[in-house]
Structure 1
Amino acid sequence: MDKKDILIKDVLVKNVITLNYDSPLSEALGIMKKHNFHQIPITKKKRFIGMLCLRNIITKNVDPEHTKSESLIIKTPVLNPENRIEDAVELLLNTGIKCLPVLDKNDRLEGVVSETDLIDFLTKNYSIKDITSELFTISEDQTIGKVRNMFREKNISRIPVVDKENRLVGIIRNMDLIKTMTPEKEKFYDEKIPVDKLSVKTIMTRPIVVGEEKNIRDVIPLIKKHGEVIIMQEDVPVGIITAKDILELMRFKPSKEIYVEITGLRGEEEQIKLDIDNEIKRFVQKFSRMLKNLEYLFIHVEKLRESGKRKYFDVRTRFKTPLGMFVSRAGSWDLLEAVGKALDRLEKEVKKKYDKIAEKHKI
């Protein structure tokens, strides 16, 4: 069956666990840990009112026993059973969340569709070197508090732990932080020491690793089970692949010219959109003169937090060229500046590789 013919009703997960809006966060965290859920639909009078996301809980300084789930829910786009899976892919990438609700005509929850429900529908195989995302790591000497800050500031939900030689020794996922917020925390630390001052070694777990020679189809089962795979060169981590990275490949539409797509600009002023479009055109024109057969440039904008009327923007890029895949990331309170920084970093990485190859073939 062609991917375009597959509807949400064909892939949605039914009979999902939900929580009432006035349930304490501690109950939600217990369910998340038990079932490895990153999101839980929240209902009021049996109607869906929003989604509770793990990443929004673990980065907040809240008391789970005395905080209602309603206080941290987010409004999400919704799907209906007749939508296509392509619609779900777009919404998941545009919003940055892991799971979308599927509602009937009466706003009652029929089920959910998650990233991992969709990645099996990737039709083309790729080398994992072509899709590896930028990798943030943390030293084994750092604290849980530092992990929490990095999750919030870098907009990530897992981070590999490395030793002084940059060798991989563990990983911390947002799911691992649950134990720092529930009664379970009493089992693994002395209450005289604040949780955020504890070593990352206290909660890190074993990472799932693969070599660079693998193809994406080799690692999809691992990603469905564990959430990510770490790409290794000997003992050193060099990249990471998550379900989001695979969804981006599913959105790719082949073209004779470079395919450019930017997401996350909904609600921004038209002049800002025009300025960003001009920045992207200048970037593409520059590299079109330098390299032939450019494939695609993806740019994703996400609003991480707000301060008054100001918004902080996180911009991620992925640029497929004949020299390989390049990624960059930048943030700023100014959207145009954030995009500019991300493109500048991308340009430096491509030129570094280009100059290295040119020098190697220099006569």
Structure 2
Amino acid sequence: MAAIDLMEKTTVVDAGTDLAKAISAASKEPNILHFGVTNNGVYAGLVDDRVLRDFTGPSSTKVGKLTAHPKTVSPRTSDEDVMAAFLNGDDKVLPVIDDGKILGVVTRWGALSSMVASNAVKGKKISEYMTRKLVSITEETTISQARKTFKENNLFRVPVLDKQSRMTGVISTYDLAVKVSPHTAGAARQSTFEPTLLERIGKEPITSIMSTNVASVTQNDSLSNALKQMIERRVMGLVITEEGKPIGMLAAKDVMRACLMEKPAPIQIVGLKEDETMLKQSLFDECNTFLAKWNKTIDLAPEDSLTLHVKSKVEGKKKRFEVKSRLTIEGNVFSSRTPPNVDEHKQNWDLHLAVRESLQELAKIIKKYAELKKKRAMSREEE
């Protein structure tokens, strides 16, 4: 299954469109807000409720000033690579781009729909993948305070509790984007002592915009049931409850991680045809050499794994190989492939060289990950 099979429509607006007008056109989709932005007909970026989470300016702002640039996929990108793209970032939707034009988007639950017929989550419990560190707010929390909580904790959804710590609703970035952002056009202050419209809205209790129809499950429920709920209710996360009280969250990314990490063996080589299996041991050796080298940099854990997907095609009297490499590190999924174009890659008539080139591309990605991880660690130490 490819991105084109998972794709959904998205509203497309010009970069000069007012935010309020764009939101009005795009907010017909429940639980998520997104619209593509073009400049002279060419894709220029995307705006979703994640982008608007921290935005407090006037709704007359032109959307071209707000565009984010999430990872993009082509119509031919595989469903596995789509999930890997979601896992390696915070994007809620991935634009599907072809020849500079946006065709649509793939949402997180759209990506999950490809796993319905799979056995990847069969027999697994929610308790194995849920996040137990829970951030919540109370019914007395104001909209302004909730926005601050979202920003400080980099969240998209939090449960709302009453005085008995029972859940009465959920507030999400979608609620903030659709129910608050379009109404801040008159943000100009009339006098030094008069609050702006944005400030007045910010003092409203969160109960005025929260959603009360909450999608929830228990930690003993199956992961397949959670997958079904996310797709049917079109939500990107479920609240885990126990006796009416929230004890954790299960995000779409948690389910994706379970799907992509179903095979825990350190090295997997799949796709070899019968007459190619004699090369399997030498390919294992290539993989072991690769892991031994990078283990010094990224400290691979026993649960991390490297998978090679091999495809071969007979052309005349020769075989042409395409190899996709996938490495899981700390729950993240990194993947690369051998360039399939013969002009770009003249060596893919040899399987070992195809594997080597695929691993070289993977090494570039891992190097960036290791450097970013090091920078974050240094930043935390300085704080």
Would you call these one fold, judging by a TM-score over 0.5?
yes
In the alignment, residue 27 of structure 1 is paired with which amino acid? Answer: K
In the alignment, residue 41 of structure 1 is paired with which amino acid? Answer: G
Matched, 1:335 2:376: yes
Partner of 1:165: 164
- 1:201 CA displacement: 1.8
**DSSP-derived class of the 2:331 partner:** strand
Partner of 1:317: none
Change (3 A) 1:191 1:230: same
**DSSP-derived class of the 2:94 partner:** strand
Matched, 1:20 2:14: yes
- 1:43 CA displacement: 1.2
Change (3 A) 1:212 1:338: farther
Matched, 1:129 2:127: yes
**DSSP-derived class of the 1:74 partner:** coil
Partner of 2:27: 33
- Supply the distance in 2 between the matched residues of 1:339 and 1:121 (Cα, whole angstroms): 38
Matched, 1:113 2:140: no
Asked whether the equivalents of residues 258 and 297 of structure 1 are also in contact (C-alpha less than 8 Å), the reply is: no
- 1:180 CA displacement: 2.1
Structure 1 vs Structure 2: percent identity of aligned residues?
21
Change (3 A) 1:63 1:279: same
Greater mean alpha carbon deviation, residues 94-103 or residues 246-255: 246-255
Partner of 1:138: 137
- Supply the distance in 1 between the matched residues of 2:199 and 2:77 (Cα, whole angstroms): 51
For 2:86, which of 89, 92, 104 is the aligned residue?
92
- 1:184 CA displacement: 9.4
- Supply the distance in 1 between the matched residues of 2:332 and 2:72 (Cα, whole angstroms): 23
Change (3 A) 1:185 1:62: closer
What does the per-residue CA deviation read over 1:69-128, in whole Å, with 9 as the maximum and x for residues that have no partner?
000101232211222112211222223111112222x21222221211111233322211
**DSSP-derived class of the 1:201 partner:** helix
Q: How many residues align?
A: 273
Partner of 1:205: 211
Matched, 1:256 2:265: yes
Change (3 A) 1:258 1:81: closer
- 1:254 CA displacement: 2.0
- 5+ residue gaps, structure 2, are 187-195, 269-293, 303-327, 334-372
Partner of 1:58: 53
**DSSP-derived class of the 2:27 partner:** helix
Change (3 A) 1:279 1:223: same
Greater mean alpha carbon deviation, residues 175-184 or residues 195-204: 175-184
- 1:198 CA displacement: 1.8
What does the per-residue CA deviation read over 1:299-328, in whole Å, with 9 as the maximum and x for residues that have no partner?
59xxxxxxxxxxxxxxxxxxxxxxxxxxxx
Asked whether the equivalents of residues 223 and 242 of structure 1 are also in contact (C-alpha less than 8 Å), the reply is: no
Change (3 A) 1:119 1:339: farther
- Supply the distance in 2 between the matched residues of 1:216 and 1:253 (Cα, whole angstroms): 13
**DSSP-derived class of the 1:102 partner:** strand
Asked whether the equivalents of residues 86 and 251 of structure 1 are also in contact (C-alpha less than 8 Å), the reply is: yes
Aligned pairs (5 A) from 1:220-259: 220-224=227-231, 225=233, 226-252=235-261, 254-257=263-266
- 1:26 CA displacement: 0.4
Asked whether the equivalents of residues 237 and 249 of structure 2 are also in contact (C-alpha less than 8 Å), the reply is: yes
TM-score by length of 1: 0.66
In the alignment, residue 79 of structure 1 is paired with which amino acid? Answer: V
Change (3 A) 1:339 1:277: farther
- 1:215 CA displacement: 0.8
Partner of 2:200: 194
Change (3 A) 1:215 1:166: same
- 1:145 CA displacement: 1.1
Asked whether the equivalents of residues 88 and 332 of structure 2 are also in contact (C-alpha less than 8 Å), the reply is: no
Change (3 A) 1:180 1:71: same
Change (3 A) 1:112 1:193: closer
- 1:172 CA displacement: 0.7
Partner of 1:180: 180
Partner of 1:308: none
TM-score by length of 2: 0.63
What does the per-residue CA deviation read over 1:219-247, in whole Å, with 9 as the maximum and x for residues that have no partner?
22322323322111112101112222212
- Supply the distance in 1 between the matched residues of 2:45 and 2:256 (Cα, whole angstroms): 23
Asked whether the equivalents of residues 51 and 68 of structure 2 are also in contact (C-alpha less than 8 Å), the reply is: no
Change (3 A) 1:296 1:333: closer
Asked whether the equivalents of residues 38 and 98 of structure 1 are also in contact (C-alpha less than 8 Å), the reply is: no
Change (3 A) 1:243 1:195: same
Partner of 1:298: 331
In the alignment, residue 125 of structure 2 is paired with which amino acid? Answer: S
**DSSP-derived class of the 1:81 partner:** coil
